[in-house]
Amino acid sequence: MDWQKLDWADIFRRLVLFAFRRRQLRGMPGSLADAEDLAAEAIRRLFDSNYAPWDPAHEPDLLRHLGSTVNGLLSNEMRAARVKLERSLSVPSVLEWAEQNAVADAHPDRADDYRYAVSLLEARITNDEIASQLLSLEEEGVTKAALQAAQLKLDVAAIYAARRRLARHCQAVRRELNGESSLKNGLGRGLN
Amino acid sequence: MKLRKAPIDNLTLQRLEQSLDEDLLTEAYSLEEIADQLRALGGNPEAIGERGKALMSGLLGNADPHAHSGQLSASPFGGVPVSEQRQEVFFDSGASDVGHLAFRAFGKTYGSEHEAVIDFLEAITPAEVAASEAIREWLRTCQIDCVKGGLRMVAEREAYHGRAFTERLIELGRTVPASVRPEIRESIDYLRDTSLSDLEKLQRASGRYPNPEDAMQPLFEFISLLKEDQQTKEMLRLFAADELSTLRWQNTLCAVLTEMKRNGQIVAE
């Protein structure tokens, strides 16, 4: 691999954006600068012999490999945060907070919330045939654009375009839900 | 092919978004679309890209980091501990994840992130104060108006860096060392040297750090390694932005003035 020939500015920008979205999805507060730290760490580990090396036979795409490292780093971060929380449970206010969250997480309405979110999304894409079909494929676990293109007998560019539309609708639904949630309980927890 | 329309029961918005976000790592999004999204989040895609390139150039020029020892050096205006040579800097990125393993930065191995932070602050704080004073002395003899204007701002920055880091050191239970470390002292003293012209001082500074991004990269990397001390981390992030701005200013001005002198537009002696 000739590392010098790669467009590292592009790789880094994509990875930063990816890390930012991943943090958001996991409900972890953080700025773009935090995402940049994560992206930098993922790249650094690529060259650090203390970590498992990139195996192109397993994941031929470098960016996907880096994305997976970002996912791992985020999991570590969440685990560390949980440990910290457990250690501080002797503080009554923290204990109370944790209990409230545990109750909220186990709430039976949660599944209804998920269904409601997806129904909002479906309503938004009802006239977008490709996006609707993609939704079905995603549910079936067909998540790769190339496979989706093959199944729908469409050009991969058309699939990418539909996935971008779908991503925008998802963000709109999330904003809508966060707005509703804020209005309802003043917390803005949303559906994470 | 048309798919059977079945009710969507098992897909969550989060799972779908996770899948769709994978596209950010592919050609599904163009360079421009990625840049637009970063801008929408308040980011500067050009600067992020530059930092990515600088990170890589650091890593690629650092194939065997453990074979070199490092030392603190200084920027022209204010003792930023960056390395004179890229090879002298290395980082152990995983160290602070657990908080107990060795923490390596600027070519040194520390017992913890905290130790590294203290060492950094103890090096930088007196240097920033001294640099501010040296620049004020330069200002008294400075002959070129545009240099004067910049120096005024830089002197203020160095002074407030010194004040803020002093407060932080005290919060961390330490005091500010009485003197500037010798390896940094040398990069400050010439600023007050009246035998050097304004342009010579600028040329000396720019010659030392011809590429501001590269010069600052070790500091940005150090910042990115800090996981526990979030307060110092954010202070350093803003400090690094100031220092980068100073380096860019001095190099740009130096290039312009050097050219003007060559064309006989200024005397600059």
Give me the domain span that covers residue B245.
66-259
Residue B214 pLDDT grade (very low, low, confident, very high; cuts 50, 70, 90): confident
Type of residue at B190: Y
Q: B25–A64: do the CB atoms touch at under 8 Å?
A: yes
Q: Sort out which chain A residues have CB atoms less than 8 A from B42's CB and list them.
A: 32
Higher-confidence position of A177 and B96: A177
Per-residue pLDDT tens digits for A55-111: 888 888 999 999 999 999 998 888 777 666 665 555 555 555 555 555 555 555 666
The CATH number given to whatever domain includes residue B253 is 1.20.1260.10
Query: Which are the contacts of B104, defined by CB distance < 8 A and separation ≥ 6?
Result: B90, B91, B92, B95, B110
Per-residue pLDDT tens digits for B123-180: 999 999 999 999 999 999 999 999 999 999 999 999 999 999 999 999 999 989 988 8
Q: Is the per-residue pLDDT at A14 higher than 50?
A: yes
Q: Half-sphere exposure (CA, 13 Å, Cβ side) for A77?
A: 21
Q: What is the DSSP letter of B228?
A: S
Residue of A11, A25, A76 with shortest CB distance to B18: A25
Q: Rounded to a whole number, what is the distance in Å from the CA of B141 to chain A's nearest CA?
A: 40
Quick one: closest CA in A to B98, which residue? Answer: A80
Q: Sort out which chain B residues have CB atoms less than 8 A from A44's CB and list them.
A: 55, 59, 91, 93, 221
- Calpha distance A173→A192 (Å, rounded): 12
Number of structural domains (chain B) is 1
Own/partner pairs for B207-212, CB < 8 Å, 24+ apart? B208/B76, B209/B75, B209/B76, B209/B82, B209/B247, B209/B251, B210/B251, B212/B244, B212/B247, B212/B248, B212/B251
Report the b/e string of A100-131 with b at 16+ CB within 10 A.
eeeeeeeeeeeeebbbbbbebbbebbeeeebb
Sign of CA dihedral B137, B140, B143, B146: positive
Determine how many CB atoms are found less than 10 A away from the CB of residue B76: 27
Most B CBs within 10 A among A1, A25, A26, A37, hence the mutation to make, goes to A37
Residue B11 lies in a domain: no
Residue B24 lies in a domain: no
Q: Confirm or reject contact between B61 and chain A (CB < 8 A).
A: no
Q: B12–A40: do the CB atoms touch at under 8 Å?
A: no
pLDDT at site A181: 54
Q: What is the DSSP letter of A18?
A: H
Residue B22 lies in a domain: no
Q: Rounded to a whole number, what is the distance in Å from the CA of B13 to chain A's nearest CA?
A: 6
Q: B28–A37: do the CB atoms touch at under 8 Å?
A: no
The ipTM, to two decimals, is: 0.80
Identify any residues that bridge with B108 across adjacent strands, giving them in sequence order. B105
Residue of A8, A139, A152 with shortest CB distance to B53: A8
- Calpha distance A5→A66 (Å, rounded): 17
Q: Tell which A residues from 126 to 155 touch B, by Cβ distance under 8 Å.
A: 132-133, 135-139, 143, 145, 151-153
Please state which of the ranges A3-17, A43-57, B88-102 shows the lowest mean pLDDT. Answer: B88-102
Residue of B8, B43, B224 with shortest CB distance to A40: B224
Q: What is the mean pLDDT of residues B54-72?
A: 54
